[in-house]
Structure 1
Amino acid sequence: MSATFASMRYVNYRYWFVASLIASTGVWLQRVAQDWYVLTVLTDHDSGQVGIVTALQFLPIILFSASAGVLADRIPGRRLLQCTQAGVGLVSLVMGLVVLTGTGELWHQYILAFVSGTISAVDTPARQAFVGELVPPDKMANAVALNATAFHAARLIGPASAGLFIDWWGVGPVFLIDAGMFAAPIIALFLMRADRLYPRTLIPRARGQLREGIAYVRGRTDICIILVTIFVVSALGMNFQLTSALMATTVFGKSAGSFGVLSTFMALGSILGSTAVARRTPRLRAILMGAAFYGTAEILLGLSPSYWWFAVLAVPTGYGMLTMNTSANALMQTRTDPDKRGRIMALYSLVYLGATPIGSPIIGRIGALFGARWAILVGGIASLSIAVACGVWAMIHWKARVVRRSSFPWVGIEGDSSVDAPSRSLDED
């Protein structure tokens, strides 16, 4: 088996990979259906309301992620994930029933979005930390990258399927299909062989465990650089569901099916990006270059003259996004102490997902006032700028110098190590 799929040798990981693919497809069905329902049924193409619903999905990340990380370090992963996956499926079922009975109102979507986000706040750090229990430590980076591949393969299938299903049957059945898909991870967790797991040491209940995790991050400059980059890009640059819906409807005059196809093109690039990362050791350089590449691609995306140009440019945009995201996730998991992994990944989720309630209303408002193109351009400029700024910060902090290698255009950064630096350079493993 090739190095790209090394984690597939482990039976428990195979169960989880398939289950994640199915459940993640359901997530994308729900996201497209909810955005379209709010945009076209509950409002008259009001992107601001879509932004509010999106923000409510992610607001609980800000409120509860830190505490959820402590839970992920205390409670066995299988038990916690069975509860969260059942909860997400129940929320999708309620969404479907509300739509099918014709009683749906905007405030219903507000409440359901917040409840779904609360469950996700607990689920995300637990799920990320659990990956390390499915494979040996030396395969963790590969497992994280393949998980990202499954998620974005689902993104390739889910939005396009949701758009077609909405055209054929309406929004309600899409929510019901989504609810059924969350049985897959519950079954997979039940089937896993306990003797093939690589369990982490769980921490006992004690005071100050959240502060301990925050102090750990403050002492790691590499992690701080990652979190700052991810925060800015996530807040302003990763609102593709919102901005592509605006572009599809208000600029290109397309239907739900065409809206879903745009997400599919971006997902194709995302799969290419995550599989590329699966073959490599995660590095800080890849994160910053991925953010710069993503910002540049997003600027070109905002300048697209036609629908099909927009769709084609979504592929490199997705590639840059996943190079950055997957490298960041893998680097943080592999360079974090196992007994702190839940708390550290909760802080990562807080920054990565919690930035959305801050950024999506801003981007939605920009789209409403100045048009969809400007909403995309602002995100691209912000992503490119923070990548350059953090790269300069890293070079100054580690007294670095730029070294141009033979494999142009990849640029390495080397310099003196500092007490909080994880290595002597951004290239060094």
Structure 2
Amino acid sequence: MRKRLTGTFRSLSVRNFRLFAGGQVVSVAGTWMMVVAQDWLVLERTDNSASALGAVTALQFTPMLLLTLYGGRLADRHDKRMLLTVCNLVSAVAALLLALLVLVDAATVAHVCVFALCLGTVNAVEVPTRMSFVSELVGADLLPNASALSAAYFNVARVVGPAVAGLVIAAFGTGPVMALNAFTYLATVAGLRLIRVGELHRAPRQDTRVRVVDGLRYVWSRADLVLPMALVAAIGMFGMNFQLTLPLLARTVFHTDALAFGLLTTAFAAGSLLAAFVTTARRGRPSGRTVTMAALAFGVLETVAGWAPGYGAALVLLMATGFTSIYFAQAANHRIQLGSDPRYRGRVLALYTLILQGSTPLGALFVGWLSTQLGARSGLYVGGLVSTAAAVAALLADRAGGRSGTPGGAPSRPGTEVRRRVM
């Protein structure tokens, strides 16, 4: 048992990664507290308007759609540690300003929209930089484990954050939650500044100009990267709108209070956390079939979760859906990241982030409108059915590729430079 635990947490033997992960747990918990508080505030101020909540969600993710590729270029060109420090400080200031407006009862939905847009702009740089920074912290050999642990601590925070937010909102309102979130960003900043720069695994600086288009061409030349990217696009747009569907399910279907909403979100996150720990055992690049089957399981379970007849059944089904969502996301992430040349990794992960999170504005607006017309359950039904259809299409495409002699794990063009690290 001890040996197994040592294997699961082996990346934590690296001091720099321990510092980074510790700061992230605190900061991400605050972020998820903020998500619950922000959504609850919008629903309170708009009489449970699904369209208003969809608009706020869209504003938060629209910068991801427009700016993430540029953020990946910055990550490949500049010091990732410094970029992350600046991003977290800007987020802290923005969160504090919104908290002050709420505390003095001056906040409007327009203020929330401005904050969402600001946070999304920062995230367009922070997310690809953070994802590619993990490889600098631990090196190639520990990258699969460190990536899985990153998902694990993210989901630990996702379990703790909403549960605490529900308690605090019920007792004191949304303002104190937002104020607390502002200060949690400082934990990440402290961890980043304590990192020993000399122990980072940095790739040699490129002499040529770092361009976004080169990263796009690199991905397009790789059939084994294009297929998981396409799956991530379909599922990210239609299936991963839980920030919108869960609060609507809680308020308009089960008619719960803030505490019960927090528990609903926590159940989803608990399943995600379990999946993250399961994937820490991965030591190499997953196959294309693993990614596709995980997508299929997610689509089926999300569809069933939309049918949940009661609050208790919803808790169980959302936990299972959360498990498959992270298992799929991690499988896709590992297949893409471990198959990419380190010189392009920031831009490749920026494209992955753009597709996964940047497609959310379009999906959020559609799901928000659909939920207004047909009810909160419809968002889960459509997300699950589209995800299932995308997974089936990917299975057929993979099978067709195998028959034509182009396996999913091989470059699509002869002579394409591919540097793989099989671990």
Query: Would you call these one fold, judging by a TM-score over 0.5?
Result: yes
Partner Cα distance (1:371, 1:256) in 2:
20
Q: What does residue 419 of structure 2 align with? A: none
Amino acid in structure 2 at the alignment position of 1:217: V
Alignment of 1:306-321 (within 5 A): 306-321=310-325
Q: What does residue 232 of structure 1 align with? A: 234
Deviations 1:97-136 (A, max 9, x none): 1111111112111111111100000101110110001112
| Unaligned residue ranges in structure 1 (runs of 5+) | 402-412, 423-427
| Unaligned residue ranges in structure 2 (runs of 5+) | 417-421
Query: Quick check: 1:385 aligned with 2:352?
Result: no
> Structure 1 18/372 Cα, relative in aligned 2: closer, same or farther at 3 Å?
same
Q: What does residue 397 of structure 1 align with? A: 401
Q: CA deviation at 1:244?
A: 1.3
Alignment of 1:21-420 (within 5 A): 21-40=25-44, 42-204=45-207, 206=209, 209-280=211-282, 281-283=284-286, 284-399=288-403, 419-420=412-413
Corresponding residue SS for 1:353: helix
- For the aligned residue pairs, the C-alpha RMSD in angstroms reads 1.9
> Structure 1 213/101 Cα, relative in aligned 2: closer, same or farther at 3 Å?
same
Q: CA deviation at 1:419?
A: 4.1
Corresponding residue SS for 2:30: helix
Partner Cα distance (1:210, 1:286) in 2:
29
Kept in 2: contact 1:238–1:379 (CA 8 A):
yes
> Structure 1 36/416 Cα, relative in aligned 2: closer, same or farther at 3 Å?
closer
Number of residue equivalences: 411
Kept in 2: contact 1:394–1:400 (CA 8 A):
no
> Structure 1 137/309 Cα, relative in aligned 2: closer, same or farther at 3 Å?
same
Deviations 1:212-260 (A, max 9, x none): 1110011011211111111111111111121111111111110011111
> Structure 1 244/134 Cα, relative in aligned 2: closer, same or farther at 3 Å?
same
Corresponding residue SS for 1:137: coil
Kept in 1: contact 2:299–2:388 (CA 8 A):
yes
Corresponding residue SS for 1:133: helix
Partner Cα distance (2:413, 2:265) in 1:
39
Kept in 1: contact 2:28–2:158 (CA 8 A):
yes
Alignment of 1:416-427 (within 5 A): 419-420=412-413
Query: Quick check: 1:11 aligned with 2:8?
Result: no
Q: CA deviation at 1:195?
A: 2.6
Amino acid in structure 1 at the alignment position of 2:123: S
Kept in 1: contact 2:398–2:408 (CA 8 A):
no
TM-score, with structure 1 as normaliser:
0.92
TM-score, with structure 2 as normaliser:
0.93
Kept in 2: contact 1:141–1:331 (CA 8 A):
no
Partner Cα distance (1:220, 1:231) in 2:
17
Partner Cα distance (2:89, 2:354) in 1:
22
Identity of aligned residues (%): 35
Deviations 1:47-88 (A, max 9, x none): 110000000000001111111111000111111110001111
Amino acid in structure 1 at the alignment position of 2:83: L
Amino acid in structure 2 at the alignment position of 1:80: L
> Structure 1 99/143 Cα, relative in aligned 2: closer, same or farther at 3 Å?
same
Q: CA deviation at 1:389?
A: 0.5
Kept in 2: contact 1:5–1:146 (CA 8 A):
yes
Partner Cα distance (1:328, 1:121) in 2:
20
